[in-house]
Structure 1
Amino acid sequence: MSQIVVLDTNVLLHDPQAIFAYPKDEIVIPAIVLEEIDSKKRLADELGRNARSVSRLLDKIKEEGKLHSGIKLPNGSIIRVELNHRNFTQVQDLFGEITNDHRIIAVAMNYHVEQQALPEQERKQVVLVSKDVLMRIKADVLGLPAKDYISDPHLQADDRYNGYFTLHVHPSIIDEFYTYRYLMVHNLGLRHQLNPHEFVILKDELGTTKSALLKVNANATKLEPLFLSNDPVWGITARNAQQRMALELLMNDEIPLVTLTGKAGTGKTLLALAAGLLKVEDEHKYKKLLIARPVVPMGKDIGYLPGEKEEKLRPWMQPIYDNLEYLFDTKKSGDIDKILMGLGSIHVEALTYIRGRSIPGQFIIIDEAQNLTSHEIKTIVSRVGEGSKIVLVGDPEQIDHPYLDSMSNGLTYVVERFKQEGISGHIALEKGERSKLAQLAADLL
């Protein structure tokens, strides 16, 4: 049964292609949504870009007819801009002041009331689609169905790819691996497909301590032993199985894209920096180590901070400097700046300053990548030049961007899109190693 889908402004600003995400349904865009989009079109950021994209899409669609009357799209849906439905009575009685959000809810609510008045066989369900949690809660209070917009509806939080899994097998299979140093995937009788560079922990199904840690090869046909021993990497030794898996991917020059996710204190950034330093300074595999992170303010943005560019950036980049100070074992404040200046091959930048560049022959670390949109991630990864390796690091559960969540952020997007590709690898780190207190804080707070 088709439905009437009322789109909130934040959905279109998050993904202009949301217009085409509901085939055979009726898509309603309240007039106030167009006003809000218009107010964003001059911004020089992702919101501005998306606002302009929505404007261009609607301008092209209107060539087929009148938007206020409804225009049929190629996927069978009908899109309309709603100019009427200005009755705010039900919403105003409950929430008082009429804001733009309340106007959008009112449009959806009035459609809902109209549909309820029709014979049951003629009714359509009215759904408000918004990325604003409070907006959905207000709609629920009114008895109006509301849901979040998810660009990939088949991806659920519990289905996120971890990069490894545990398999309980007969001890003879573990013995076979230790004898021949490999296992063929088709001999394991698995019900699901393995991904390239995925890790498998074999455990004895009979309950003994016999186990093995293996990695799927690039074409997902064979399980092989890890090529990296558990020796320190720039002074850092893996403290758990997932950290060892992460270092295996980071140190493998045949894997140009590595993604690491995990809660605070799991060692994501530290491991990436240690591997980058070893590859650049010791092995000279790459010419430079470039470390960048998006500047997503939790208060006043960078323009309000005093000083020149370097002084403005320092508070945002400080977590990276903290890790570098640990790796270089500096004793005094300011020592790390002298070290970096002396080396000349390590660059710490805000992500703003690397967009648009072509970056060959470098080990690139993008920290806090969960605060990037799918378009921004595409822009960055597509700029990686020949002979470079890029590492995307972040915690999908810790989003500071107003229009992203744990499922729609750029980091999750890359993990899911690249998990079956032989040039990428992913690990979700779970155990915190910063301190016992930090681990408890991440779990309990």
Structure 2
Amino acid sequence: MGKDDLDRKIYVLDTNVLLHEPLAYLSFQEHDVVIPMTVLEELDHIKDRKRDVSRDARVAIRSLDDVLTNATPEQMLEGVDLPKVQRDPNKPASSGKLIIVNDHLYPDSISGLPGNENDHSIINCALQLQKQYADKKVVLVTKDINMRLKAKGVGLKFVEDYRTDQLIDDINLLTSGYNKFEGDFWTTVGECQTEQQGRYSLHKVPTSRMPEVFYNEYLLDDSEHFAARVVGYDDAYVTLKDISVERLLHQQAWGVKPKNVYQGMALDALLDPNIELVVLTGPAGCGKTLLALASALEMIIEKGIYDKVIVTRNTPEIAESIGFLPGTEEEKMAPWLAAITDTLEVLHKHDESPISSRNYIMEKANIQFKSVNFMRGRSIQNAVVILDESQNLTASQLKTIITRCGEGTKLICTGNLAQIDSNYLTPVTSGLTYIVERFKDFEGSATINLNGVVRSRLASFAEENL
């Protein structure tokens, strides 16, 4: 057995990895990929359900069939070559094998493992392979955090999350959308070229003095007066649009004024039609939904830039129980979108009849509530799409929604990475984290982390101390 054979690992895939990314088995380069029979059975049960995840199950099954279609029974047991991967131009391209293992034939070596029987079978399969191939590294790959804990608890040496779409290792490395300089910005940066463009000044700062910037990143300093936004950069210069903190704090949208500079930066991005994607992250009570909705109403009713608001969100319950609630899709979605109707009432709390105002505005701004499940296949034109609670979505679900946005559409994603409800997502693997990192070099997007709770003294204390 050569060194290359010893270096090859065996990856055992759980069902949720193939549901998360149906072509995941192609991501393991020259290593062998094992799919237990239990996983195929789970995919088979899921493919016929009337749920969004069923499509992913069908895609996974079809793609596996493409690889295995001409294999003989002997080849199936030995393993079928996966497409070759060229890692080193000086060496021949190498490829791992795809092996379907009948895990039902393995003796049960972990009797009494609580919980899901299928999880039990898949962990048992990985354990048996670990014994069988003691000289190789056998790795169980699953998105299920609890399954990873159970697998380690019964003696599996290597257990991993599936992370090809994880762009950062630590959530603290996630960009906040702004950069705060110590001291005075101009003292730090020195001289630059300035030109007037309408009401704004544009500064050209040599790139060598500001090497790490990205589009629509906001710049602040300790003076509490200076604020700018990066509107362009190349090898020679970084172009800054001078905004000033005072101007940020004096904006307003539908009667809402920023309570701090972070909300000011968010409103600046939200009210700019040239920024098609705005991502608002931050703790509960920092004003994400309020700012998103207020700016949407301002741009639709007051400025006439867009025609309608589409509000959508994903919660685990929607997929399960939207069919059992009475009424239209709008009425079925209402319980999950109470955050939006509550916010509308807050915006009109000083009106003579807040409920009537809310209903009037919902009609005038053409506010529509849609389930994420019904977004596929649509093309949304001239609308503001507010995607609430987007931390619970995977990267592929977010891609589905973003690719629906047609001409003249603005997408606002709001989410709190500390409140993930999904069993399979963590702050670093959430789709929200993925798009913040993926889109930061795109000139049509901006990210703001709304630092600080403005909901109430009680909410602020709870966020910091509980």
Indicate the residue corresponding to 2:136 in structure 1. 124
Contact 1:86/1:106, CA 8 A, preserved across alignment: no
Contact 2:167/2:434, CA 8 A, preserved across alignment: no
Question: Of the candidates 266, 274, 281, which is equivalent to residue 286 of structure 2?
Answer: 266
Contact 2:345/2:355, CA 8 A, preserved across alignment: no
* 1:399 correspondence with 2:420: yes
Deviates more, 1:415-424 or 1:299-308: 299-308
What amino acid is the match of 1:70?
G
Indicate the residue corresponding to 1:223 in structure 2. 240
Indicate the residue corresponding to 2:91 in structure 1. none
Contact 1:226/1:248, CA 8 A, preserved across alignment: no
What amino acid is the match of 2:82?
L
5+ long unaligned stretches in structure 1:
117-122, 204-208
Please tell me the root mean square deviation across aligned C-alpha atoms, in Å. Answer: 2.8
Residues 335-414 of structure 1 aligned to structure 2 (within 5 Å): 335-340=356-361, 343=364, 345-414=366-435
Cα drift, residue 334 of structure 1? 3.5
Indicate the residue corresponding to 2:277 in structure 1. 257
* 1:135 correspondence with 2:152: no
Contact 1:372/1:411, CA 8 A, preserved across alignment: yes
Aligned-partner Cα distance in 1 for 2:430–2:399? 12
Question: Of the candidates 417, 432, 441, which is equivalent to residue 462 of structure 2?
Answer: 441
Deviates more, 1:107-116 or 1:316-325: 107-116
* 1:423 correspondence with 2:423: no
Aligned-partner Cα distance in 1 for 2:114–2:47? 30
Indicate the residue corresponding to 2:176 in structure 1. 162
Aligned-partner Cα distance in 2 for 1:261–1:30? 39
Secondary structure at 1:6 match in 2:
strand
Question: Of the candidates 204, 212, 219, which is equivalent to residue 184 of structure 1?
Answer: 204
Contact 2:253/2:294, CA 8 A, preserved across alignment: yes
Cα drift, residue 258 of structure 1? 1.2
Deviates more, 1:158-167 or 1:418-427: 158-167
Indicate the residue corresponding to 1:68 in structure 2. 77
Aligned-partner Cα distance in 2 for 1:420–1:90? 50
Deviates more, 1:414-423 or 1:157-166: 157-166
Contact 1:174/1:212, CA 8 A, preserved across alignment: no
Contact 1:62/1:71, CA 8 A, preserved across alignment: yes
Indicate the residue corresponding to 1:297 in structure 2. 317
Contact 1:256/1:423, CA 8 A, preserved across alignment: yes
Contact 2:219/2:228, CA 8 A, preserved across alignment: yes
Cα drift, residue 354 of structure 1? 4.3
Indicate the residue corresponding to 2:164 in structure 1. 151
Cα drift, residue 8 of structure 1? 0.9
Deviations 1:338-376 (A, max 9, x none): 313652533333344444322222222121222333333
5+ long unaligned stretches in structure 2:
1-6, 86-94, 196-200
What amino acid is the match of 2:438?
R
Indicate the residue corresponding to 2:228 in structure 1. 214
What amino acid is the match of 2:264?
R
Contact 1:85/1:106, CA 8 A, preserved across alignment: no
Aligned-partner Cα distance in 1 for 2:362–2:273? 27
Cα drift, residue 303 of structure 1? 2.4
Aligned-partner Cα distance in 1 for 2:104–2:204? 63
Question: Of the candidates 331, 334, 343, which is equivalent to residue 311 of structure 1?
Answer: 331
- Cα pair distance change 1:439/1:178, threshold 3 Å: farther
Deviations 1:398-424 (A, max 9, x none): 223444332333322322221101111
Deviates more, 1:321-330 or 1:178-187: 178-187
- Cα pair distance change 1:36/1:274, threshold 3 Å: same
* 1:113 correspondence with 2:126: no
Cα drift, residue 148 of structure 1? 1.2
Aligned-partner Cα distance in 2 for 1:223–1:174? 12
Aligned-partner Cα distance in 1 for 2:123–2:395? 28
What amino acid is the match of 1:429?
L
Secondary structure at 1:29 match in 2:
strand
- Cα pair distance change 1:57/1:341, threshold 3 Å: closer
Cα drift, residue 269 of structure 1? 0.9
Contact 1:242/1:429, CA 8 A, preserved across alignment: yes
Contact 1:68/1:81, CA 8 A, preserved across alignment: yes
Aligned-partner Cα distance in 1 for 2:403–2:218? 26
Indicate the residue corresponding to 2:37 in structure 1. 31
Question: Of the candidates 2, 14, 22, which is equivalent to residue 20 of structure 2?
Answer: 14
What amino acid is the match of 1:362?
A
What amino acid is the match of 2:391?
Q
Q: TM-score, normalised by structure 1?
A: 0.88
Deviates more, 1:383-392 or 1:250-259: 383-392
Contact 1:174/1:211, CA 8 A, preserved across alignment: no
Contact 2:307/2:365, CA 8 A, preserved across alignment: no
Aligned-partner Cα distance in 1 for 2:307–2:319? 36
Deviations 1:107-166 (A, max 9, x none): 1111112233xxxxxx21111111111211111112312111112354222322221122
What amino acid is the match of 1:150?
R
Deviations 1:255-297 (A, max 9, x none): 1111111221111111011111111111111122332223531
Indicate the residue corresponding to 2:92 in structure 1. none
Secondary structure at 2:435 match in 1:
helix
Aligned-partner Cα distance in 1 for 2:119–2:372? 32
Q: TM-score, normalised by structure 2?
A: 0.84
What amino acid is the match of 2:58?
R
Secondary structure at 1:95 match in 2:
coil
Indicate the residue corresponding to 2:10 in structure 1. 4
What amino acid is the match of 2:162?
Y
Secondary structure at 2:110 match in 1:
helix
Contact 1:296/1:401, CA 8 A, preserved across alignment: yes
Q: How many residues are paired up? A: 432
Aligned-partner Cα distance in 1 for 2:384–2:256? 18
- Cα pair distance change 1:178/1:347, threshold 3 Å: farther
- Cα pair distance change 1:388/1:28, threshold 3 Å: same
Secondary structure at 1:433 match in 2:
coil
Deviates more, 1:350-359 or 1:383-392: 350-359
- Cα pair distance change 1:342/1:200, threshold 3 Å: closer
